[in-house]
Chains A and B, each alone.
Chain A
Amino acid sequence: MNMRSFRENAYNGLWKQNPGLVQLLGLCPILAISTNMVNAVSLGLATILVMAVANLAIASLRNFIPYEIRIPVFILVIASLVTIVDLSFNAWLHELYLVLGIFIPLIVTNCIVLARVEAYAAKNDPISSTIDGVMMGLGLVWVLAVLGGVRELIGGGTLFSGIDMIFPSLSPIQVFGDGYHDFLIAILPPGAFFALGCLIALFNWINMRAAARAARRPKPVTAVSDAEAASAG
């Protein structure tokens, strides 16, 4: 484990291979939960935890898992770990469970966990696998935060509604004031697709612009750009 592979994991998770925008895995929970920012980020945090634990477990056991039955074993391991995390949260971190609890079982349905286990943890050492899980989870969190924030803002004119269930001292922000007519389609399921579509378009536009700029610029002799460092891996 060195600095370079850490940066690579981070860049892949947060941007280049972002689970929400590029891999498009786990759409079902992403679309369902992103009706407001607090819910969306809560799901994201629970996902980070499960992905880190699942990647760590599979990477540690990877030499004992025969190739032919790897998928059933992965599913068995992920489902058991999620159950254990769910029960332990419920029993020993009950305050947190009241907030994140309903999201933890949902994570089993998220393909991104199985995808990272299969694509990364089954071939890499436990430490980098755990970091990969955390970074992929963080990548999901920021996409969920943006998506939830946009949908909540357009749909209800607020931000951070429900934050008082996590931090009782804070209250939601009324961005557009009381007279705002809720634009409900943003909160309803179609709004999830529209918002995610726009977000992916924006993401691709930024990437294309960056690529065009990089092509126009004369190649620097000494510095290795991020893109090259990542593609070398």
Chain B
Amino acid sequence: MTRYTAARTSIRTASIMVIFTLMFTSMMSLTYRATRPAIEASQFAERMRLMNEILPAGAYNNPLLDDYVELGPTPELGLDRGGRIYRARRDGEPVALIIEVVAPDGYAGRIQLAVAIDPTGRVSGVRATNHAETPGLGDYIDPRKDKERARPWINQFTGVSFQEVGEESWRVRRDGGVFDYRIGATISARAVTMATGRAARFALTHHVALFDAKAGSRLGEVTE
């Protein structure tokens, strides 16, 4: 059996490690490049499907995914790194804003929501786009996981106006508000309700500036 010196062993193992690393990293990057177009296409389809759930496809006739404004970091919406607001119009007239909002106070961390709101502050639909709420417990905020198929919890926001309900009552019943929650998982419901309320208030306050901004432009500071 050949005995190698320490230096030779180090160089030998290091070069083998380098070869393996190069081999597998290039395999990964090849796969990445090959899969990119298909993945982007399905992400686009997924976003479109979600938007159709919260905003009826017939309600607007502009290219929704191209008509957006970029937001800088907006604490009011829980957006630490900014986000996008999509604007639905029908023959040029404002129909609704689709606002990304983050509820920082979910039971298992952040809950990302997409909320569609018309200029008067009436909610057209809400969907949780990303969350880690307890399966079987708090995940009823996602209608696909909701046990009550016929009347998903999240649909109670549909058609509700922020102005009519009022900021004081835009809470779950347990906190003296008007919205239902499921027993055993109040925190998830409270987080979604409050975040939806913040999005509605944001839309109500800023809809003029938001609809007027040039498509694709970036709003640094949204002024009151």
Contact = CB atoms under 8 A, between A and B. Distances in A.
Is chain B a partner of chain A in the same complex?
A: yes
Interface of A: 35-36, 39, 64-66, 68-69, 72-73, 76-77, 80, 83-84, 87-88, 90-92, 94, 152, 155-156, 158, 161-162, 165, 182, 184, 187-188
A26 B44 CA distance: 34
| 4 shortest interchain CB distances as A-B pairs | A91-B35, A91-B38, A80-B24, A35-B135
Contact of B136 (A69, A87, A161): A161
Contacts of B36: 91
Contact of B145 (A65, A77, A90, A162): A162
Contacts of B136: 35-36, 152, 155-156, 161, 187
Given A66-B13, A77-B20, A161-B147, A39 B184 contact: no
Interface in B33-68: 34-36, 38-39, 42
Nearest to B26: A80
B31 A88 contact: yes
Contacts of B12: 66
B178 interface: no
B134 A69 contact: no
A191 to B, nearest CB: 11
25 contacts: A35-B134, A39-B135, A65-B16, A65-B20, A66-B12, A66-B13, A66-B16, A73-B20, A76-B24, A77-B24, A80-B27, A83-B28, A83-B31, A84-B28, A84-B31, A90-B35, A156-B136, A156-B147, A158-B147, A162-B145, A165-B144, A182-B184, A184-B184, A187-B135, A187-B136
Q: Is the interface of A mostly helix, strand, loop or mixed?
A: helix
B134 A80 contact: no
Given A35-B136, A66-B13, A69-B13, A91 B20 contact: no
Given A66-B12, A68-B13, A162-B145, A187 B24 contact: no
Contacts, number: 73
A94 B17 CA distance: 34
Contacts of B184: 182, 184
B163 interface: no
Nearest to A64: B16
A74 to B, nearest CB: 10
A80 B35 contact: no
Contacts of B137: 184, 187-188
B156 interface: no
A36 B135 contact: yes
Given A91-B42, A152-B136, 8 more contacts: A66-B16, A73-B17, A73-B20, A77-B24, A90-B38, A91-B39, A94-B42, A182-B184
Contacts of B39: 87, 90-91
Interface in B88-137: 134-137
Contact of B35 (A39, A88, A156, A158): A88
A187 B16 contact: no
A72 B134 contact: no
Contacts of A84: 27-28, 31
B21 interface: yes
Contacts of B147: 156, 158, 161
